[in-house]
Amino acid sequence: MTMKRTATQRLADGLVVLSCLLLLADMLLILFLPALAYFRSGEPTFMTMAQLQAIFVYDFDDGLGNLMRVILYEVWQKPETAVLALFSLACAVGAAWIFLQGLHISANVADGESFSPKNAVCFRRAAAGCFLLALAAAGRTLWKIWQLGSPEPLLSCAALLTPLFLAGGLLCLLLSALLRRAAEIKAENDLTI
């Protein structure tokens, strides 16, 4: 006889699907982030997105070749686009890492293992992803302050992300410690007759 799944397990099933979709979307985005940084810069000497689209319409192979040139070479030629591309890639990798840990946690909860040491480890790993994102945002903010020579970038979105992801990482560490302690208590109770 199969046990009826709880509401928490059904919710975790939904989170597994959502985490998989987010991870897939993030992985696809990682491939094109350098090109997005390149086109975002708006440098007058750079090829525009409209020009690249026109090349794709004319000849797909030429368009793909130009896109690969942008991703592998052109974006790294100017410091502004290179820093934006590195920041974007660091954010995407950190987010993918967090989504992957969320997938593991959701799968464990869906299997009925809410208070397991594995979930504590996943939260600790998610904290590392949050700290990577905070470090990337702080690095981008400091670079922009140095580049512009003014404190104006302290009012940017990247500057706001630094304490936000730092707090997220600390929260994940707290949840990790709580889950680890809950797993210890559960193990002690399982041994008690």
Report pTM: 0.82
pLDDT 10s digits, 112-142: 888 889 999 999 999 999 999 999 999 999 9
Domain positions in the chain are: 19-29+79-191
Using the structure block, give the residue that is written with the tokens 């512009």.
Answer: 148
3-state secondary structure of 158: helix
Q: Is pLDDT above 70 for 1?
A: no
Q: How many CA atoms lie within 13 A of 44 on its CB side?
A: 0
Q: Report residue 2's pLDDT band, with 50, 70 and 90 as the boundaries.
A: low
Where do runs of H (alpha helix) occur along 42-154?
A: 49-58, 60-72, 79-110, 117-148
Q: Is pLDDT above 70 for 193?
A: no
Query: What is the DSSP secondary structure assignment for residue 2, as one 8-state letter?
Result: P
Average pLDDT over residues 29-57: 80
CB 142 within 8 A of CB 87: no
CB 106 within 8 A of CB 16: yes
pLDDT at 36: 86
In this structure, which amino acid lies at residue 123? F
pLDDT 10s digits, 59-109: 888 888 888 888 889 889 988 889 989 999 999 999 999 999 999 999 999
pLDDT 10s digits, 169-183: 999 999 999 999 998
